[in-house]
Amino acid sequence: MSKQMDIIPAIDIIDGKCVRLSQGDYNAKTVYNASPVDMVKRFVDYGFTRIHAVDLDGAKAGHPCNLTTLEKLAEASDDARIEWGGGIKTDNDMRDCVNAGCSYAVIGSVAAKQPELFEKWLGEYGSAMMVLGADLRNGKVAISGWLGDTDLTLDNIVSRFLPFGLSQAIVTDISRDGMLQGPSFDLYIEAQKNYPTVDFTVSGGVSSLTDIEKCKELNLRRVIVGKALYEGRVTLNELEKLC
């Protein structure tokens, strides 16, 4: 029998607007009319309180660029819990995001390139707030808004932080992101099996309700829904019923 699965709607932000990229390509972006604040209110109205938001400007620049937007999102509803990522590189960046109202901080580049700093944040802010962001290109971790590459595998990076309390990770298969071709199910099944104490979030490729139902059947614990939602392939009403 399938366990409860968290569905996390996504908002990608450039210049304070909702956008979606295809395979992380900043030149292949679609800008949507909906404002990020209105989207948060809609998500919460349908019962989705954990909302994944990415500061794409910040990911590219290497420091948070849309903190004013983060503040507005966090204030949009008392029930909204914003999972924020993009360009968090220093202690000051981390403090700024917390002060702006993020409930969860997604850390990618720092975890890959400055692991001691991420270890410190796990201790300082707790595993309930800190989320490892592992974006994979051909099985290796990509960094800096997917503009840079490393030699690290998912196993390398997850096992590194387990002793420091890591309990949640968002894993994105870049080749699937924004392409609406379905998630890399085997990747998540393997990760969840190898690291049962970590809650892995399926990210990238969700194209239909069928994909989300399959995640639930496979007992995957969390799934991010982005482009499929904005393009009407999945509706909030359908997601609400699934939950």
Q: Quote the CA–CA distance of 108 and 86 in Å, as a whole number.
A: 8
Residue 17's domain comprises 6-242
Residue 1 lies in a domain: no
Which is the catalytic residue, given 57, 135, 173, 211?
A: 135
Give the single-character DSSP code of 3. Answer: P
Verify whether residue 79 is a known catalytic residue. no
Residue 121 lies in a domain: yes
Residues in CB range of 125: below 8 A, 6 or more apart: 94, 98, 105
| Residue 227 CA: distances (Å) to CA of 30, 178, 242 | 10, 6, 18
pLDDT at 143: 86
- Whether the per-residue pLDDT at 80 is higher than 90: the answer is yes
Which is the catalytic residue, given 12, 55, 93, 173?
A: 12
Verify whether residue 15 is a known catalytic residue. no
Residue 184 lies in a domain: yes
The larger pLDDT score, comparing residue 177 to residue 88, is at 88
- Whether the per-residue pLDDT at 45 is higher than 60: the answer is yes
Beta bridge partners of 202: 171, 223
Is the entire prediction scored with pTM above 0.85? yes
Provide the number of structural domains found in the chain: 1
The larger pLDDT score, comparing residue 177 to residue 45, is at 45
pLDDT at 2: 46
Please write the tens of the pLDDT for every residue from 28-37: 778 887 899 9
How many residues are there in the chain? 243
For the chain, percent of residues with pLDDT exceeding 90? 80
pLDDT at 73: 98
Residue 139 lies in a domain: yes
- Whether the per-residue pLDDT at 209 is higher than 90: the answer is yes
Please write the tens of the pLDDT for every residue from 93-140: 999 999 999 999 999 999 999 999 999 999 999 999 999 999 999 999
pLDDT at 101: 98
CATH value at residue 133: 3.20.20.70
Q: Which segment of 13-22, 25-34, 165-174 scores lowest on mean pLDDT?
A: 25-34
Residues 205, 181: contact at Cβ < 8 Å? yes
- Whether the per-residue pLDDT at 1 is higher than 50: the answer is no
